[in-house]
Structure 1
């Protein structure tokens, strides 16, 4: 199983932080004439994308290991491969071909899933044998779930509603660099807290 999921996540979160820095620089260089707050929004969206990518990677790696008999089956949930895929896996010519096919089929299948909301993440991880991740990785599971959930909701507002303020039509909800930085730190801490249980 690849052991670089957290490394990939850390790289993605760094890219998100760079967007915040870019937004601050543009705001300073233009003396505020250019509104750079959309770069903070892009950073927040990138942060949730990094979270989603991390969870997808863990689910993919563990699903392949389960399929190849290297890890016990998780929950009774199912990922759902086509019969064609199953036949190809069974008839693979050697272990390397079987692993490559499993990784390919699961990766393709998982593209239809989104793992951002806390309960969706918990269900996905349980499916591949990581049980009760929130209560296992955090002293206060509810607080941890709320913290990431709030950021996911803001991300959804950004990508689905252009972050428009429903109370004041024609304006966007404010987002300053400190809030974006704090959101990225919550995401980073969440991944770093659950990662030891996802190996």
Structure 2
């Protein structure tokens, strides 16, 4: 599981490098060249890194449970698999069939919003996720969930609405490096706390 956290941190490092590119271009060009989309890309990629972390923790945790290396929780026992996967599992000496089934079923899902993240983690752990994350971060679970939801909402505005402000057609919502860095730092802290919680 450590490699999942390491990959998450590496992905966030790449996201932060875009911020460095933004800073460099801002300092060497005029305001005529709008490079704010680099900041928007950082938000989208940071949420992508977070989503990938939850997907991978869940997938590997489920495989560990199936292999008897992790306590099996009720939600895991109710995970439905296709008949095709059941046929593949017959006589299989590995859990590759389950790995493929988890990937197939979860490929339709995003684990970004607080409720969806908690749903995913319930497949591998009975921990009260947001209480545990709050304990690790010294913040209330409600505040953590609200902040995560705000970042996801902004990502959705960027990814699905071109970050357009409907109140002022032709303009985009404001964004700045401080806002973006705060979001990335928050996602990193929450990701680490989730890792420690499961």
Output one character per residue of 1:144-194: Cα deviation in whole Å (capped at 9) or x when no partner: 111111100000010010000121111000101111111101101111122
Residue pair 2:127, 2:197 contacting (<8 A) in 1 also: no
2:132 maps to 1:136: yes
- Greater CA deviation, 98-107 or 33-42? 98-107
RMSD of the alignment, in Å? 1.5
Distance 1:37 1:75, change over 3 A: farther
Cα distance between partner residues in 1 of 2:75 and 2:13: 36
1:83 matched to 2:83? The reply is yes
- Give the equivalent residue in structure 2 for 1:52: 51
State TM-score, norm by structure 2: 0.91
- Which structure 2 residues correspond to residues 39-188 of structure 1 after superposition, within 5 A? 39-76=38-75, 78-92=78-92, 94=93, 98-139=94-135, 140-188=140-188
CA shift at 1:86, angstroms?
1.8
Once the two structures are TM-superposed, the CA of residue 124 in structure 1 deviates from its matched residue by 1.1
Q: Tell me, what secondary structure is at the counterpart of 1:71?
A: coil
Partner of 2:192: 192
Q: Could you tell me how far apart the structure 1 residues matched to 2:75 and 2:59 are? A: 16
Shift of 1:27: 1.8
Per mean C-alpha deviation after superposition, the further-off stretch among 99-108 and 141-150 is 99-108
- Asked whether the 8 Å contact 2:12–2:188 carries over to 1, the reply is yes
**CA distances 1:89-144 after superposition (whole Å, capped 9, x unpaired):** 2321x2xxx22332222222211111000011011101222421101221411111
Alpha-carbon distance between aligned partners in 2 of 1:86 and 1:133, rounded to the nearest angstrom: 31
Structure 1's unaligned 5+ residue stretches are none
